[in-house]
Amino acid sequence: MKKRVIVSAQARADFREIVAYLQEMAGRTVARRYAGRIDAGLNLIEEHPAIGSARPKLGADIRVWPIPPYVIIYALGEDAVQILRILDARRKMTRQVVHKRS
């Protein structure tokens, strides 16, 4: 069942940082490719909100969807999905990191 997606300010900042880093380190083509993959992941979450793996240690209703080597971390609510972070999957995930406010 499709749900409205709300992207947090922190997730938008994560996205910008990822794209800027990739553009600097790997070039514009690679950065655009990953930006497209992340966008596709967000669209998939919108269409199928329960698709991600549950991560109860990170908080109630928290799910993770991989876009290797990154993950989209989101909270699944009744009426909407809130995208909390987009992070490197190799990073240690804690409640503090997931719920960081910019």
**Residue closest to 51 by CA, chosen among 95, 5, 101:** 5
pTM of the predicted structure, to 2 decimals: 0.92
**Residue closest to 50 by CA, chosen among 15, 19, 77:** 77
- The pLDDT tens digits of the residues spanning 37-87 come to 999 999 999 999 999 999 999 998 999 999 999 999 999 998 999 999 999
- In b/e form, how buried is each residue of 80-89, taking b as 16+ CB within 10 angstroms? ebbbbbbbee
Domain holding 16, by residue range, is 4-98
Number of domains in the chain: 1
Q: Which helix (H) or strand (E) holds 81?
A: strand 80-88
Is the CB of residue 33 less than 8 Å from the CB of residue 41? Answer: no
Place of tokens 């969807």: 65
CATH number of the domain residue 54 falls in? 3.30.2310.20
